[in-house]
Structure 1
């Protein structure tokens, strides 16, 4: 029994309302032809009629079930939360509920099983090495091969829509950017004020415009200080300045979509793998992140690894085989062979406020992070989709 209803498991709502459905909805509103496998399921009749410009603002870590706490720091967020401004809907992240997976699902308009960015860190089948998607320099694997599907920005640009990313310039040339943001121009912006100004400027670039803007501040504060902490509330107040700035300058033929890549839980129970050498026996690699780990077993060792890890995590996590995770639909209705190979032989899905930390190759501070995500709880999986049009 979870200690809170927000810690109960939540299924990804593929086909009815996940991050993978946001961009297809935006493209449909802009008149871009749709892929048959990514319909605009979030488009309500008449809601976006006449829209020629759309800004999608993603606030990292700004989960749906955190809005009540976030409202303490921002009148605008409070108005959104209470249904007094725009239209608020709960959708879900994709699985795992972590940044690179969610950003790829949003930017490609596809579930992880199709775009293949299917873990925070995964093993590269061809080499046996690990790739951490947020620290990927793009040298290996090749981003265009690793994620070959057309992005939402490529599809929009092919139809004459001007596409712009408004985000920190340090992300511009990373492997993840090359994999998921192809087709968009980059406008460097770091502070909430810069992001708001850049978003408004980018919306004016052409007759039809699609802008994607990103701010990491709430996620960063949650990781280091915890959800609900004074530092977290301060970060909410700061990013709300970007919302206010965009609303103030939004053209009459534009719409704003606000969403998040995941929510967050404050971790209170940790399994330190670096203190349990027995858990490395028969394991070639441990990947994923603290709330959803991938275990890659050495040949012939799978049963022993399963037994050791089942004993170690007990009821604090669910440990299942790759095929069962795929069959449950965690990664979407379709999982390509390439994506399936990247998932661990065993998947450790943490429950409640438990995390698996102390994994070789991860920075030491990661084991001490308070706020974490990646799991299947409602607190991590539910994200807002808030839409606003000038009146």
Structure 2
């Protein structure tokens, strides 16, 4: 199936976030395929740190290179990579941790329906219902590393140490809670010293939050980017001689003007026949009442027109945007899928009051949302 010209299918298996950790594992001698061709970049490295900066889209970084001189000076041997679909944090982090596209690991959106339960799960607030071990049943790259006697550590926010998403995406790794960006930097370098071979993954959250609330074209966002740059500089100052640092992201972001927000809750045609509205403003999953799916699809197509790519579940799966979709996971995708085009957002001011007030969003398949950097620094001995 052909997507609209301004939306793009992620190149799973060759150039996505899901291909990073399998390639690093191969470079550390833990087996698997070097999907990205990182062999030369990691040659001689016994320790690798992977820092993911939430919301650090490649287009945004290029546009603000002067604000982030440390990041701008890092090597880009492979060019841009791509986020998965939807281009949103829980989907991306699970793809990173498992090395799989969303259709295989099953974390398919920011908010998704729990089939048979008539309720959604918000993956950033997820604890133990549904059980992370069954909701995301695939093995992780961290488990692969453990089997090969490679020490792996996740350095992330203290609040997420035991979350459902952490257990789904990172199981097999030791979790080292961080209480601040400075603690994150120190935790990365400290954890690199563990074992003869080591992978340390760090997650930095604040840039994404700042972008959502203030916009990516704001002084606040630029100031926060400068703080990210300082964290990277601190990690580089203490990088072991036999280590490599990779910096990447989970998605890009874009500001959404006030005039480009279609309020689903204020548009009666978009509510008819709908059992559950899931996803997020730029990547909607619409679950219909029994027998109403065709009518809901027709109504959403007619109402949204060229503001979104609107397809039924089977069409969305056939397009390949999620990668191969396990049949047992397909019902987590809406009966109707609507991915925003341009700078449109499909808000829901009654059902999602706070998310509808944000300045910037992500989730769809525009080039800016998909493009993520892969920046590289090597220790002095490499």
**Structure 2-normalised TM-score?**
0.95
Structure 2 residue corresponding to 1:65, chosen from 59, 66, 77:
59
- Confirm or deny that 1:379 pairs with 2:373: no
**1:344 corresponds to which residue?**
334
Question: 1:169, 1:365 → 2: CA distance?
Answer: 24
How far the C-alpha of 1:147 sits from its partner, in A, is 0.5
**Structure 2 unaligned spans of 5+:** none
SS in 1 for 2:374: strand
Is the CA contact 1:292–1:348 (under 8 Å) kept in the aligned structure 2? yes
SS in 1 for 2:251: coil
1:130-149 map, 5 Å: 130-138=120-128, 140-149=129-138
**1:3 corresponds to which residue?**
none
1:107-118 map, 5 Å: 107-118=97-108
How far the C-alpha of 1:130 sits from its partner, in A, is 0.5
How far the C-alpha of 1:277 sits from its partner, in A, is 3.3
Structure 2 residue corresponding to 1:267, chosen from 229, 236, 256:
256
Question: 1:241, 1:144 → 2: CA distance?
Answer: 36
**2:344 corresponds to which residue?**
354
- Structure 1 residues 237-285: Cα deviation after superposition (integer angstroms, max 9, x where no partner): 0111111011111111111111000001111211112212332221111
Is the CA contact 2:269–2:303 (under 8 Å) kept in the aligned structure 1? no
How far the C-alpha of 1:367 sits from its partner, in A, is 0.3
Is the CA contact 1:57–1:258 (under 8 Å) kept in the aligned structure 2? yes
**Structure 1 unaligned spans of 5+:** 1-6
- Higher mean Cα deviation, 307-316 or 285-294? 307-316
Structure 2 residue corresponding to 1:369, chosen from 358, 366, 377:
358
Question: 1:30, 1:133 → 2: CA distance?
Answer: 31
SS in 1 for 2:107: coil
SS in 2 for 1:315: helix
**2:320 corresponds to which residue?**
329
- Confirm or deny that 1:244 pairs with 2:233: yes
Question: 1:266, 1:96 → 2: CA distance?
Answer: 17
Is the CA contact 1:291–1:374 (under 8 Å) kept in the aligned structure 2? yes
How far the C-alpha of 1:228 sits from its partner, in A, is 2.5
Structure 1 residues 235 and 282: alpha-carbon distance in aligned structure 2, compared to 1, 3 A threshold: same
Structure 1 residue corresponding to 2:41, chosen from 26, 32, 47:
47
- Confirm or deny that 1:314 pairs with 2:308: no
- Confirm or deny that 1:196 pairs with 2:177: no
Is the CA contact 2:24–2:38 (under 8 Å) kept in the aligned structure 1? no
Question: 2:107, 2:236 → 1: CA distance?
Answer: 32
Q: CA RMSD in A?
A: 1.5
SS in 2 for 1:347: strand
Is the CA contact 1:87–1:388 (under 8 Å) kept in the aligned structure 2? no
How far the C-alpha of 1:325 sits from its partner, in A, is 1.1
- Confirm or deny that 1:162 pairs with 2:156: no
- Confirm or deny that 1:182 pairs with 2:153: no
**2:9 corresponds to which residue?**
11
Is the CA contact 2:217–2:255 (under 8 Å) kept in the aligned structure 1? no
Q: How many residues align?
A: 374
1:273-292 map, 5 Å: 273-292=264-283
